[in-house]
A = this chain, B = another copy of it.
Amino acid sequence: MSKVTTLEQAAAQVPDGATVAIGGLSMNSAPMALVRELVRQEKKDLTLVAIVAGMAVDWLVAGRCVRRVLSGLVSFEGLGLAPNFRAGVQSGRVAVEEYSEHLLICRLQAQSSNLPFMPTKAGLGTDVLGLHTASGAVREERDAPSGERYVACTRLPVDVALVHAHEADERGNARVNPKLVWMDNEIVNAAARTVASVERVAATEAFTAEPERTTYPRFMIDAVAPAPLGAYPCSSFPDYSHDSEFFTAYSQAARDRGEFTQFFRERVVGPETWEDFLDANNAATGASA
């Protein structure tokens, strides 16, 4: 029973309305091939959990797949704001549940550790906590014996985590080279299912030869979807960096509705396969730039 599947089949397993956590951090290691497939399959009403994200959220918002985003930060960093995310929120079409990185991490940890909450000092004295008073998702508390303040972050259930890794075997053992997981293990640990896109499928022997390099054991990974350059236009350290040209061209196009529609069709959702997409973007060149 191999866990290796196609991008199409892996994405098909994400139902409309699901809570989907997106791996990577900013322009690094986002599971873009899987995200593109979600857009192509016209998913609806997704709730995204994105600790620090950018292009992945923007594609999904552009594709009208998103109802709500739980995030710490969504941007293209020095290359600008995420244009569709910005417009979607400003128009009221997309709701943002604003957290910070550590508040989201603590909610994920409460979930993965089966605890009613994880404590942190994150958020004390900010307006972030007030946003969650009604839902109780995070709440300010005072430790009775010490009088010390803290923030209790409640469980955050995740239906599917999407992460990008370098290699996996058919059993689902997966690894990220050299060992950087950003905060991906937080979403993997909290998720009911995890789908990993991988640069390549490797033999189990590659894992037994260097077991200390395995990032996720097979029982944490439910499906493996091969996708060379699968994080493009984001980076997958140390294999390739993000493609600044793509980010810039995308932002440029987003200034005009018609231009963006064409760009999104030609360079994002239109190409039939992931390989077609990479060709349409000269990705092999851009990613190594």
Contact = CB atoms under 8 A, between A and B. Distances in A.
User: Interface of chain A, helix or strand or loop or mixed?
Assistant: loop
Contacts of A150: 115-116
Contact of A119 (B119, B146, B210, B212): B119
Interface of A: 113-121, 136, 139, 143, 145-146, 148, 150, 152, 154, 178-180, 210, 212-213
A117 B120 CA distance: 10
Contacts of A121: 114-115
A117 B115 CA distance: 13
B143 A116 contact: yes
Contact of A120 (B115, B145, B146): B115
A130 to B, nearest CB: 17
A212 B178 contact: yes
Given A179-B212, A212-B179, A143 B117 contact: yes
16 contacts: A113-B120, A115-B119, A115-B120, A115-B121, A115-B150, A116-B119, A116-B143, A116-B145, A116-B148, A117-B119, A136-B145, A145-B154, A178-B210, A178-B213, A179-B179, A180-B212
A118 B213 CA distance: 29
Nearest to A115: B119
A117 B149 CA distance: 11
A106 to B, nearest CB: 10
Given A113-B120, A116-B145, 7 more contacts: A115-B150, A116-B119, A136-B145, A145-B154, A178-B210, A178-B212, A179-B179
